[in-house]
């Protein structure tokens, strides 16, 4: 038993062909970007999601940056984002001179509260960036309708939600653009990586240019121009084919990975449901309109003190748990953009009381049984 401690919150997992494909990418003699494995990943994702076009990038943050450059933002332009999200959802747009306007989240799914969006829209608003928290879809019908009525671009931050669905359609295929993350902590990983999904093909040509340092290199490779040159803004957003090789091994095994994660999620849910009910602890909620991506399992405690005690309780039994996100509207950077944002009481409450349990692809049933047993020993006080 002692070899299993400490039980980490996350662990990078190998599914099978990662090493073989890396060796193959080296043998291919093409380890820079846009080699055979990058193409395989892009084609695989486009087909699996039924998306029009997928471009692999160095990270989800960088895919969001490409999206922000595509918007041709002017100083004072605004982008509506949830306050309860990772920094990059807002920072990518702030970097282009826009002001992030923070919306609160729904208490049930912890997704951007679509009812809060409209009151945050001004003549300067350019885009809405819904984040599918924990891979459970936002209310996309309403969000797309608000965007249509106000002439806004929708960019889905789908870092958590690859292969999740809303009303049968894959997350990442609703917005004009969407972004994916292949960071070590996500369902599918190559250490650091990401993708930009382009559903509105009007953005495709410039997206390729921005991703290639502002040059028309992609057109050159397709033989559409006879030399390539600097034509627009851009940066270095192309991922090494070695990383794409690693990623392709994981994508190829996506059904196996998702089946494992589903088992882990269901085991937590079944094992903790009764305890949670008795203790006033909330478990994740998945509306009937959504098929989730099984990205994480969280608990929401009645108070911050209960959460702190649970973290200590788990730690004293060798189990590492984590919480997130610090509300962006209260962060030092986020508060610089204050004024236009709404109140975000749900974000503030959830940020104080949410805890994530260990969750990774090869979390064994033995270890999970132990985690569930230790969680169930805990009594909330408030
Ligand atoms: C992980 C994450 C990102 C950033 O992903 P990187 O690939 O590390 O840049 C962005 N948004 C959300 C919601 C995330 O969880």
Residue 2 binned pLDDT confidence (cut-offs 50, 70, 90): low
CB of 170 within 8 A of CB of 49?
Answer: yes
Same domain, 26 and 84: yes
Q: What is the mean pLDDT of the chain?
A: 97
276-286 average pLDDT score: 98
Residues 221 and 146 in one domain: yes
Judgement on whether residues 286 and 357 belong to the same structural domain of the protein: yes
- How much distance in Å is there from the Cα of 34 to the middle of ligand 1? 22
pLDDT digits (tens, 9 = 90+) for 203-261: 999 999 999 999 999 999 999 999 999 999 999 999 999 999 999 999 999 999 999 99
- If we measure between CA atoms, which residue out of 85, 45, 339 comes closest to residue 173? 45
In Å, how far are 41, 230, 361 from 296, measured between CA atoms?
Answer: 24, 42, 11
* % pLDDT > 90, the chain: 96
Query: Is 196 found in the same domain as 183?
Result: yes
The residue written with tokens 């969680």 in the block is 375
Residue owning the nearest CA to atom 15 of ligand 1: 159
Q: What is the mean pLDDT of residues 171-182?
A: 98
CB of 85 closer than 6 angstroms to any ligand 1 atom: yes
- CATH code of the domain covering residue 199: 3.40.640.10
Give the end of a domain, one of 251, 276, 306.
Answer: 251
Pairwise pLDDT comparison (174 vs 2), residue with the higher score: 174
Question: 353-367: per-residue pLDDT in tens?
Answer: 999 999 999 999 999
Q: What is the DSSP string of 52-66?
A: SEEEEES-HHHHHHH
On whether residue 10 sits in a domain, the answer given is: no
In a domain, 13, yes or no: no
88 Cβ below 6 A of ligand 1: yes
The verdict on 208 and 271 lying in the same domain is no
Query: Would you state the pLDDT for residue 289?
Result: 98
Same domain, 100 and 167: yes
Cα-based distances in Å from 245 to 12, 34, 36, 175, 232: 16, 11, 9, 28, 29
pLDDT on residue 338:
75
| Strand order, beta sheet including 290-291 | 169-170, 165-166, 290-291
Flag whether 38 is in a domain.
yes
| Both structure tokens of 18 | 């990662």
What is the span of the domain harbouring residue 329? Answer: 254-376
- Residue 7 maps to a domain: no
132 CB under 6 A from ligand 1? no
Looking up residue 265, the CATH number of its domain turns out to be 3.90.1150.10
Tell me if 135 sits within 8 A of 294, measured CB to CB.
Answer: yes
**Residues 155 and 263 occupy one common structural domain:** no
Residue of 123, 159, 157 whose CA lies nearest to 140: 157
């Amino acid at each position: 038993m002692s070899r299993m401690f400490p039980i980490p919150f996350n662990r990078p997992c190998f599914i099978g062909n990662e090493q073989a494909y890396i060796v193959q990418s080296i043998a291919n003699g093409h380890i820079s970007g846009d080699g055979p494995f990058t193409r395989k990943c892009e084609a695989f994702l486009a087909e699996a999601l039924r998306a029009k076009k997928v471009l692999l990038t160095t990270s989800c943050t960088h895919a969001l940056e490409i999206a922000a450059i595509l918007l041709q933002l002017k100083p004072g332009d605004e982008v509506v984002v949830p306050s309860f999200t990772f920094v990059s959802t807002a920072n990518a747009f702030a970097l282009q001179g826009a002001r992030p306007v923070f919306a609160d989240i729904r208490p049930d799914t912890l997704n951007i509260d679509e009812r809060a969006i409209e009151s945050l829209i001004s003549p300067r608003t350019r885009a809405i960036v819904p984040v599918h928290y924990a891979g459970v879809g936002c209310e996309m019908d309403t969000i797309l309708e608000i965007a249509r009525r106000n002439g806004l671009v929708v960019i889905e931050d789908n870092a958590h939600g690859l292969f999740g669905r809303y009303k049968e359609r894959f997350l990442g295929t609703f917005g004009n653009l969407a972004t994916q993350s292949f960071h070590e902590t996500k369902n599918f990983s190559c250490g650091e990586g990401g993708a930009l999904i382009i559903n509105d093909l009007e953005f495709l040509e410039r997206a390729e240019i921005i991703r290639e340092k502002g040059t028309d290199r992609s057109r050159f490779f397709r033989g559409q121009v006879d030399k390539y040159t600097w034509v627009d803004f851009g940066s270095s957003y192309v991922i090494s084919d070695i990383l794409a090789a690693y990623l392709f091994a994981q994508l190829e095994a996506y059904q196996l990975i998702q089946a494992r994660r589903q088992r882990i999620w269901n085991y937590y849910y079944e094992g903790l449901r009764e305890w949670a009910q008795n203790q006033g602890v909330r478990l994740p909620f998945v509306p009937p309109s959504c098929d989730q991506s099984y990205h994480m399992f969280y608990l929401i405690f009645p108070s911050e003190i209960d959460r702190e005690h649970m973290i200590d309780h788990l730690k004293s039994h060798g189990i590492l748990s984590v919480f997130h996100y610090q509300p962006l509207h209260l962060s030092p950077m986020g508060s610089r953009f204050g004024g236009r944002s709404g109140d975000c009481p749900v974000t503030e409450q959830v940020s104080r009381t949410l805890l994530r349990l260990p969750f990774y692809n090869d979390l064994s049933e033995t270890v999970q049984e132990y985690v569930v047993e230790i969680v169930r020993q805990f009594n909330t006080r408030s």
